[in-house]
C-alpha cells in the first residue's frame, strides 16, 4: 500500500514537472503580443527575435504568456541556442540558424547580388520592404471598413 | 519500500534541476547568449537539416528577397504610392487573419506596371500583383480574395516546396558543417552557388511554369478562408474568377498560363458564405474607387 502511494507520488511529481509552463522562443523580427487569443485583438506589446516567454498553454492558435498572447506560427517550442551548432558538431537546427543569423544570410545575398549584377533588383525589394502599415493604422483601416464590427477593444 | 525513497528523491531532484535550467534561460525576455542547449550537448552528434521544412525563417526571408529581386527585374514596379499603400493594407488585413500572420519581416506588396493579368507570392511574404489584374478587380472584397490567395501560398510555403531536394541537401551540407556566422571566400562561393540554384527553382515554378493545380486549389481554399476570417466576403474571390474567365478569351499569358482555368477554380471552391460578422460597407467601396484608378 505504502509502496503504491510512493509510486503515485513520484508519478504525480513527474506529471507536475512536465505540466509546468513550456518556453517558446520568438523566430520573427517582431510580432504582436495581443490582449486576447484573436487576430483582431489589440496589441499590448511587441515580442522580438530571440525573446523567450513562459507559456501557460495554447488557445485558438495563440500561446498565453504573462505579457499577452503570441501567435504560435511566430515561435518555436524547441530549445534553441543562439550559438547554433558551435562546438557540438555543427548540428544547428533551423531555429538556431535563424537566431544566430547563420545559413543563407546577408553575406550570401551580397555575394549573389554581385555575381548576378543587373539580373536582380535588390533596391526595388528594399523599397518594397519600407512599405509597411503600422498596427494602429491597420486597425483604423479595418474599423473604418467595417471589418471589425464591434471594434477591437 | 525504503529502497524506493532514494529513487523518488533522485527523480524529483532531476526534474527540479531541468526546470531550473529553463527558468534561468527565461530571464523575462531577452535571449541569453550564455544559454546552452544541454539536450544537444548530450546527444553530441551532427544532424544535418534535410527537407524544405527545415529551411529557417531567416533563410526563407533571404530566398524570398532574391526571388523578389528577380521579379522586379522582369517587371517594372508601378510608382503609385496611394495604390501600393492601399494594396499593402488589404494584404496585411487578410494576413492578420491567416494561420501565419507574421513572417520573418512581414508581408510586403508591390503593384507591377504590366498589363499582363498576374500575381505572385515569393517566400517570406513578398507579394506582387499586376496592373492588368487590378483592372479586372471591382471591389475591395475581390482584392482581398486575390491577395489572400497569395498570402496562402506564403503561409503554406508553396514556394519552398518547389526547391529540388538535391539542392537543399547540397546547401545544408555546406551550411550544416559551418559554425561561423560569416564565411570564408571559398565557402561563400559554394554557398552562393547553392543559393542561386534554390532561388532559380522557386522563380521557375512561381513565374515561368506555375505551381501544381493542387497548390493553386489549396491557395484558393485557404485564401477564401482568410478573407472570411477577415470579415470580407469570401464569395468575392469567385466573382473575380468568373470575370477572369470571361476576360480569358485568347489571352494565354500570365496567370492564364500558370494557373488552372478560372472556371475550374471557381467550381473547386464550392459554395462560400461570409462570417456572421460580415457587413457591407460604403467606405470599402469609396476607398477602393479612390485607390484603384487604372
pLDDT tens per residue across span A5-21: 766 665 555 554 445 57
Residues 6+ apart with CB under 8 A from A66: A53, A54
The distance of B108 to chain A (nearest Cα, Å) reads 6
What average pLDDT score do residues B96-114 get? Answer: 97
Residues 6+ apart with CB under 8 A from B6: none
The distance of A44 to chain B (nearest Cα, Å) reads 15
Q: CA torsion sign, A45 to A48 to A54 to A56?
A: positive
Q: How far is CA A5 from the centre of its chain?
A: 42
Residues B4-30: tens digit of each pLDDT: 544 444 444 443 333 333 333 333 333
The distance of B279 to chain A (nearest Cα, Å) reads 7
Do A49 and B48 form a contact (C-beta atoms < 8 A)?
no
Q: How far apart are CA A98 and CA B96, in angstroms?
A: 22
User: Measured between CB atoms, does A117 come within 8 Å of chain B?
Assistant: no
CB contact under 8 A, A10 and B196: no
Residues A83-130: tens digit of each pLDDT: 443 333 344 677 777 777 778 899 999 999 999 987 899 999 999 999
Name the 3-class secondary structure at A83: coil
Residue closest to B25 by CA, chosen among A150, A79, A16: A79
Q: How far apart are CA B172 and CA B208, in angstroms?
A: 26
In A, minimum Cα distance to B285 occurs at A145
Least confident of A60-64, B5-9, B46-50, B130-134: B5-9
What average pLDDT score do residues A128-137 get? Answer: 94
In B, minimum Cα distance to A33 occurs at B102
Q: Containing H/E element for B109?
A: strand B108-112
Q: How far apart are CA A119 and CA B174, in angstroms?
A: 25
Q: How far apart are CA B31 and CA B33, in angstroms?
A: 6
CB contact under 8 A, A98 and B109: no
Residue ranges of alpha helices (H) inside chain B are 4-26, 38-43, 57-74, 81-96, 131-134, 140-155, 158-161, 165-176, 185-203, 213-229, 236-248, 254-258, 262-269, 282-291
Dig out the grid coordinates for B254 from the structure.
500570365
User: A residues 12-71 near B, CB within 8 Å?
Assistant: 13-14, 17, 20, 23, 25, 27-32, 39-40, 49-54, 61, 71
What does each C-alpha distance from B9 to B13, B21, B38, B108 come to in angstroms?
A: 6, 18, 22, 55
What average pLDDT score do residues B137-164 get? Answer: 97
Residues 6+ apart with CB under 8 A from A49: A26, A27, A28, A29, A30, A98, A99, B31
Confidence of residue B280 (pLDDT cuts 50, 70, 90): very high
Inform me whether the pLDDT recorded for B160 exceeds 90.
Answer: yes
DSSP state of B230: T
DSSP letter for each residue of B68-100: HHHHHHHSPBP--HHHHHHHHHHHHHHHHTSS-
Considering the entire predicted model, what is its pTM? 0.82
Helices B236-248, B140-155: axis angle to 10 degrees equals 90
CB contact under 8 A, A120 and B40: no
Q: CA torsion sign, B192 to B194 to B196 to B202?
A: negative
What does each C-alpha distance from B269 to B29, B189, B242, B263 come to in angstroms?
A: 43, 46, 12, 10
Quote the pLDDT of residue B245.
86
Dig out the grid coordinates for B200 from the structure.
532559380
Confidence of residue A2 (pLDDT cuts 50, 70, 90): low
- Contact list in B for residue A45 (CB cut-off 8 A) is none
Do A113 and B252 form a contact (C-beta atoms < 8 A)?
no
Residues B68-94: tens digit of each pLDDT: 999 999 999 999 999 999 999 999 999
Residues 6+ apart with CB under 8 A from B66: A109, A112, A120, B195, B199
Most confident of B1-5, B18-22, B28-32, B116-120: B116-120
Residues 6+ apart with CB under 8 A from A51: A25, A26, B29, B30, B31
CB contact under 8 A, A90 and B178: yes
Q: CA torsion sign, B193 to B199 to B202 to B203?
A: negative
Residue closest to B292 by CA, chosen among B125, B94, B146: B146
Residues B218-241: tens digit of each pLDDT: 999 999 999 999 999 999 999 999
Quote the pLDDT of residue A132.
87
What average pLDDT score do residues A38-61 get? Answer: 94
Inform me whether the pLDDT recorded for B37 exceeds 50.
Answer: no
Do A65 and A54 form a contact (C-beta atoms < 8 A)?
yes
Helices B262-269, B213-229: axis angle to 10 degrees equals 50
More confident residue, B112 or B50: B112
Amino acid at each position: 500500500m505504502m509502496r503504491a502511494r510512493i509510486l503515485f507520488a513520484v508519478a504525480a511529481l513527474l506529471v507536475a514537472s512536465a505540466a509546468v509552463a513550456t518556453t517558446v522562443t520568438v523566430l520573427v523580427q517582431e510580432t504582436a503580443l495581443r490582449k486576447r487569443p484573436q487576430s483582431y485583438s489589440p496589441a499590448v506589446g511587441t515580442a522580438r527575435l530571440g525573446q523567450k516567454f513562459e507559456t501557460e498553454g495554447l488557445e485558438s492558435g495563440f500561446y498565453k504568456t504573462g505579457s499577452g498572447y503570441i501567435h504560435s506560427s511566430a515561435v518555436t517550442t524547441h530549445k534553441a541556442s543562439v550559438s547554433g551548432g558551435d562546438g557540438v558538431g555543427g548540428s544547428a537546427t533551423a531555429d538556431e540558424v535563424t537566431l544566430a543569423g547563420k545559413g543563407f544570410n546577408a553575406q550570401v545575398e551580397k555575394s549573389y547580388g554581385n555575381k548576378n549584377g543587373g539580373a536582380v533588383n535588390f533596391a526595388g525589394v528594399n523599397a518594397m520592404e519600407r512599405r509597411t502599415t503600422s498596427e494602429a493604422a491597420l486597425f483604423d483601416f479595418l474599423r473604418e471598413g467595417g471589418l471589425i464590427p464591434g471594434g477591437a477593444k | 519500500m525504503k529502497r524506493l525513497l532514494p529513487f523518488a528523491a533522485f527523480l524529483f531532484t532531476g526534474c527540479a534541476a531541468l526546470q531550473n535550467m529553463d527558468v534561468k534561460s527565461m530571464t523575462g525576455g531577452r535571449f541569453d547568449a550564455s544559454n546552452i542547449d544541454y539536450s544537444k550537448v548530450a546527444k553530441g552528434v551532427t544532424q544535418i537539416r534535410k527537407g524544405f521544412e527545415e529551411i529557417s525563417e531567416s533563410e526563407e526571408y533571404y530566398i524570398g528577397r532574391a526571388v523578389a529581386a528577380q521579379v522586379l527585374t522582369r517587371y517594372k514596379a508601378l510608382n503609385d504610392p496611394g495604390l501600393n499603400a492601399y494594396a499593402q493594407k488589404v494584404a496585411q488585413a487578410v494576413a492578420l487573419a491567416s494561420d501565419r500572420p507574421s513572417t520573418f519581416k512581414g508581408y510586403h506588396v508591390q503593384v507591377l506596371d504590366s498589363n499582363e493579368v498576374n500575381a505572385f507570392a515569393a517566400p517570406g511574404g513578398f507579394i506582387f500583383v499586376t496592373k492588368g489584374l487590378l483592372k479586372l478587380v471591382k471591389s475591395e472584397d475581390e482584392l482581398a480574395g486575390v491577395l489572400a490567395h497569395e498570402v496562402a501560398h506564403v503561409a503554406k510555403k508553396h514556394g519552398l516546396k518547389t526547391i529540388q531536394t538535391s539542392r537543399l541537401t547540397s546547401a545544408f551540407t555546406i551550411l550544416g558543417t559551418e559554425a561561423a556566422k560569416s564565411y570564408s571566400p571559398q565557402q561563400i562561393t559554394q554557398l552562393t552557388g547553392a543559393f542561386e540554384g534554390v532561388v532559380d527553382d522557386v522563380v521557375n515554378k512561381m513565374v515561368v511554369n506555375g505551381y501544381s493545380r493542387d497548390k493553386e486549389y489549396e491557395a484558393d481554399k485557404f485564401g477564401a478562408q482568410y478573407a472570411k476570417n477577415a470579415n470580407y466576403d469570401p464569395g468575392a474571390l469567385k466573382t473575380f474568377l468568373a470575370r477572369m474567365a470571361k476576360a480569358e478569351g485568347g489571352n494565354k499569358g500570365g496567370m492564364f498560363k500558370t494557373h488552372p482555368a478560372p472556371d475550374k477554380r471557381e467550381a473547386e471552391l464550392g459554395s462560400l458564405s461570409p462570417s456572421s460578422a460580415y457587413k457591407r460597407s460604403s467606405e470599402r467601396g469609396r476607398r477602393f474607387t479612390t485607390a484603384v484608378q487604372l
